[in-house]
Amino acid sequence: MSGTELARAYWADVVRPILERTLPEVPRAAGQLGTGSDVLGLDDDTSRDHDWGLRLTLLVPADRVGEVDELLAASLPAAYQGWPTAFPLTWDPAARHRIEVAAPDGFVRSRTGLDVGAGLSVPDWLSLTGQSVLEVTAGPVFEDTAGAITALRERLAWYPHDVWLHVLAADWTRIGQELPFVGRTGQRGDDLGSRLIAARLVTALVRLGFLLERRWPPYPKWAGTLFGRLPVAPSVAGHLTDALAAPTWPERDAALRAACEALHERQHAIGLPALAGAACEDFYDRPFTGLRDGVAGTLRGAIADSEVRALSHRGGTEQWVDDVGTLTDEDLRVRLAQVLVERPGYGAVGGQG
With a cut of 90, say whether residue 102 has pLDDT above it.
Answer: yes
Percent of the chain clearing pLDDT 70 (strictly above): 97
Which has more pLDDT, 352 or 311? Answer: 311
Contact present, 299 and 164 (Cβ < 8 Å) = no
pLDDT-based confidence at residue 314 (cuts at 50, 70, 90) = confident
Global pTM value: 0.93
With a cut of 80, say whether residue 157 has pLDDT above it.
Answer: yes
CATH code assigned to 3-119+131-155: 3.30.460
With a cut of 80, say whether residue 343 has pLDDT above it.
Answer: no
pLDDT-based confidence at residue 344 (cuts at 50, 70, 90) = low
Contact present, 253 and 288 (Cβ < 8 Å) = yes
With a cut of 80, say whether residue 66 has pLDDT above it.
Answer: yes
With a cut of 50, say whether residue 315 has pLDDT above it.
Answer: yes
Least Cα distance to 332 among 132, 163, 158, 135 occurs for 132
Beta bridge pairs of residue 92 = 89
pLDDT-based confidence at residue 348 (cuts at 50, 70, 90) = very low
With a cut of 60, say whether residue 349 has pLDDT above it.
Answer: no
Please report the pLDDT score of residue 119 as a whole number.
Answer: 94
Residue 242 CA to residue 256 CA, distance in Å, equals 8
With a cut of 80, say whether residue 345 has pLDDT above it.
Answer: no
Please report the pLDDT score of residue 312 as a whole number.
Answer: 82
Query: pLDDT tens across 161-216, in order?
Result: 999 999 999 999 999 999 999 999 999 999 999 999 999 999 999 999 999 999 99
Percent of the chain clearing pLDDT 90 (strictly above): 90
Please report the pLDDT score of residue 352 as a whole number.
Answer: 45
Residue 289 CA to residue 180 CA, distance in Å, equals 5
- DSSP E strands: which ranges in 92-211? 92-102, 141-144
Query: pLDDT tens across 218-265, in order?
Result: 999 999 999 999 999 999 999 999 999 999 999 999 999 999 999 999
Please report the pLDDT score of residue 172 as a whole number.
Answer: 97
pLDDT-based confidence at residue 125 (cuts at 50, 70, 90) = very high
Mean pLDDT of the chain: 94
Residues 6+ apart with CB under 8 A from 198: 182, 243, 244, 246, 252, 256
